[in-house]
Every structure is written in C-alpha cells, then in structure tokens.
C-alpha cells in the first residue's frame, strides 16, 4: 500500500468515526422545544424508557404541574405532548464528573408506563436534568433492589 493510499484510508476512517460520534451524541442529547429553554419546574408524565445505567429516562409529558420563580422559559407548556429525555444531575467529585448517585438509584426504580411528577431544570444547553427529588422519591431511591 502506498503512503498516499494509507493517508486516504486513515482520513476515511477518521471521518466515519467522527460522523458516528456525532450521530450518537445527537441521539443522546435530543433538542428540547424552544419554549422550554430555561425551564425550572415540575413535569408530570408517563415513563416510556429507562436507561439501564440509571443516568436518564424518557417520559411523555402530560402536564406542567409547577413553574418555579427561577424559570425563564417563555412557554413552559410547550413540554406537554412531548417525549422528553430527563437526565440525572451531574456533580464534580474529586475533579471528575459523575451523576448524582441518589438520582441514579431513583431512575433505576422507574417502570415503563408509570406516571410520575419530577422536578427538572434546563440550565445548560439542550438538556433537562433532575433538579430535586421529592421526599417520597428520595425514600424510594434509598431502597435497594
């Protein structure tokens, strides 16, 4: 194989790798509705998917239960009727980012079809994450399977 053929092969391989990484990132970080950017409040909905690692779940939003003072979303009700990805909150521990363990344990207890209320916030990018668990949710997260 000539040097130019090898360089061309490496360029193609890198291009495919980057394209694959972008595709995975897009799937893992779906866009939220424009009217929901800056949202802080409580959503009600049915769980449609639970990620096995406990870092996220999807829900079909049926209602906006509360909107907190911190909310800056122009149209919080734009969440209703949407299937949204809800992430565990992340924290920096010892210089590395990790999902909040209590959130992971709670997410792992969720069942598809279950209706829940969950406090969420959009305070960075295109993602919603858990703001705080209710007392009942914290108790549920404390129970080990």
For 66-107, what is each residue's pLDDT tens digit?
Answer: 999 999 999 999 999 999 999 999 999 999 999 999 999 999
List the beta bridge partners of residue 43: 64, 118
Local confidence band at 125 (pLDDT 50, 70, 90 cut-offs): confident
Cβ proximity of 34 and 77 under 8 Å? no
Cβ proximity of 83 and 56 under 8 Å? no
Q: Where are the domains of the chain?
A: 1-30, 34-142
Matching residue, tokens 């053929």: 5
Asked if residue 9 has pLDDT above 80, the reply is no
Cβ proximity of 127 and 31 under 8 Å? no
Local confidence band at 31 (pLDDT 50, 70, 90 cut-offs): confident
Matching residue, tokens 């049926």: 62
Taking the C-alpha atoms of residue 83 and residue 65, their distance in angstroms, rounded to an integer, is 16
Where does 34-142 sit in CATH, by number? 2.40.50.140
State the pTM of this model.
0.77
* Tokens matching residue 27: 């799937």
């Amino acid at each position: 194989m000539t040097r130019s053929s090898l360089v061309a092969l490496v360029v193609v391989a890198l291009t495919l790798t980057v394209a694959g990484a972008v595709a995975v990132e897009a799937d893992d970080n779906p866009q939220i509705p424009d009217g929901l950017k800056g949202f802080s409040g409580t959503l009600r909905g049915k769980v449609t998917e639970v990620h096995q690692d406990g870092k996220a779940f999807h829900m079909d939003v049926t209602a906006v239960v509360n909107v907190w003072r911190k909310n800056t979303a122009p149209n919080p009700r734009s969440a209703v009727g949407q299937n949204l990805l809800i992430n565990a909150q992340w924290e920096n521990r010892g210089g590395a980012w990790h999902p909040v363990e209590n959130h992971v344990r709670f997410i792992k207890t969720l069942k598809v079809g279950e209706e829940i209320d969950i406090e969420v916030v959009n305070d960075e990018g295109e993602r919603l994450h858990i703001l705080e668990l209710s007392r009942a949710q914290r108790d549920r997260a404390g129970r080990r399977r």
